[in-house]
Amino acid sequence: MKKRNYLLMLCLFMAMLCTTTITSCSDDDDDDSSPASLVGTWKSVSGSMGEIEFPFDDKDYMLLEITDKTITDKSFSQGVEETSQTTTFNYTIKGNTIYAEGEKYAEFSLSGNTLTLSSSELGVVVKTVYKRQ
């Protein structure tokens, strides 16, 4: 009887151990790949720096071109690209944070065709809202 109780307890313990091991595995939650929903071209529609809000229009705006590996950030003034302001960099994503070349670039939220990027510069929160093109 003691041997049977011991075997029963051992079986229950092994079943719990197997269940815990199986359910605690993940599908690479820390995967550095881009979610497919971010890939595309995004045009800025509004922004803010701290309490100061600034709109963008058809002549003065920023454009993000996101591929599965790179982000190209372009600025336009009077409808003309300011090539000295254009940057392209490799990126990774962890959670809701984009890292550019290993450094934190911005936190993002995505709702339908609206992408919001937020970052902190010298203690001031900079937020830019983009629409998918």
Task: Work out the average pLDDT over 80-92.
Answer: 93
pLDDT one-digit tens code per residue, 41-53: 999 999 999 999 9
pTM value is 0.71
Instruction: Identify which has the larger pLDDT, 31 or 114.
Output: 114
Architecture of domain 36-132: Beta Barrel (2.40)
Residue ranges of domains in the chain: 36-132
Buried b (16+ CB within 10 A) or exposed e, 69-99: eebebbbbeeeeeeeeeeeeeebbbeeeebb
Task: Work out the average pLDDT over 92-110.
Answer: 93
pLDDT at 35: 66
